[in-house]
Amino acid sequence: MKGTSKKSSVRTWIVEDNDMYRQTVAESFEGHPQISLSQNFPNCEELFDFIESGTENPPDVLLMDIGLPGMSGIEGVKQLKEARPGIQIIMFTVYQDNDRIFRALCNGASGYLLKNSTAEEIEKAIFDAVEGAAPINPQIAKKVLEMFFTVQPPANDYGLTSREKEILELLVEGFSKKKIAGQLYVSFHTVDSHIKNIYTKLQVNSGNEAVAKALREGLI
């Protein structure tokens, strides 16, 4: 269906500066019936040269080290994703710090494996990636979740009434008191009173502060 012609083999390349490690990975896929690890590079520069030479079509999946000489794997992901968005890139690294994880994923990496992964895990990750999924090492996934789902205090709403929330929302949208009054078909004075109450409840004393507090604490 849908014209997705099943490929006989997932074409995979690897960028890894440690010669021995690169060879080991390459060899572990030799003779693999569904994965052909057809090219490997010691750094990003050679990868890009090869792609631009047009000698061979780009791969389906790329395993990318992060700690590379010259251009880092993080920067490599960014540039490769810009040039060839279709390639699924799996980071393949020893680094587990939030900053590298964040930047790699920001730049468009589809997966993030640690170098202690078994050949089976790498194999599964390649299949996952080519199917549009995101193979992420559970330890890394934990950090990603922590980055975004940090247990936030359940959105203190400062006891704002629904009317006050409504007006706060319009304030955030940039409307003046007069415009808000028009929008809600009430008098300017009413809006003014509500805003006074909002300021008191939020413990602020200017529109700017109220808007900042509302946006920062997700009050709207």
For a second copy, which residue of 176, 187, 193, 200 counts as binding (CB under 8 A)? 176
Determine, following the binding rule CB under 8 A, whether residue 171 of this chain makes contact with a second copy.
Answer: yes
88-107 residues near a second copy, rule: CB under 8 A: 105-106
Determine, following the binding rule CB under 7 A, whether residue 158 of this chain makes contact with DNA.
Answer: no
3-class secondary structure for 24-91? HHHHHCCCCCCEEEEEEECCHHHHHHHHHHCCCCCCCEEEECCCCCCCCHHHHHHHHHHHCCCCEEEE
Please name the residues in contact with 212: beta carbons below 8 A apart, sequence gap of 6 or more: none
Determine, following the binding rule CB under 8 A, whether residue 83 of this chain makes contact with a second copy.
Answer: no
195 binds, among DNA, a second copy, none (CB under 5 to 8 A by kind): DNA
Please state, in angstroms and as integers, the Cα–Cα distance from residue 31 to each residue in 9, 14, 34, 73, 146, following that order: 11, 16, 9, 27, 40
Residue 17's CB is within 10 A of a number of other CB atoms, namely: 16
For a second copy, which residue of 17, 21, 58, 108 counts as binding (CB under 8 A)? 108
Determine, following the binding rule CB under 7 A, whether residue 192 of this chain makes contact with DNA.
Answer: yes
How far is 43 from 45, CA to CA, in rounded Å? 6
For a second copy, which residue of 138, 153, 159, 185 counts as binding (CB under 8 A)? 138
Residue among 134, 136, 68, 129 at smallest CA distance from 96: 136
For a second copy, which residue of 134, 165, 186, 188 counts as binding (CB under 8 A)? 134
Q: How many residues bind DNA (CB under 7 A)?
A: 24
Distance between first and last Cα of the chain: 44
What residues line the site for DNA (CB under 7 A)?
A: 159, 161-164, 176-178, 184, 186-190, 192-196, 199, 205-208
What residues line the site for a second copy (CB under 8 A)?
A: 105-106, 108, 110-111, 125, 128, 132-139, 141-142, 144-145, 148-149, 151, 171-174, 176, 204, 206-209, 211-212, 215-216
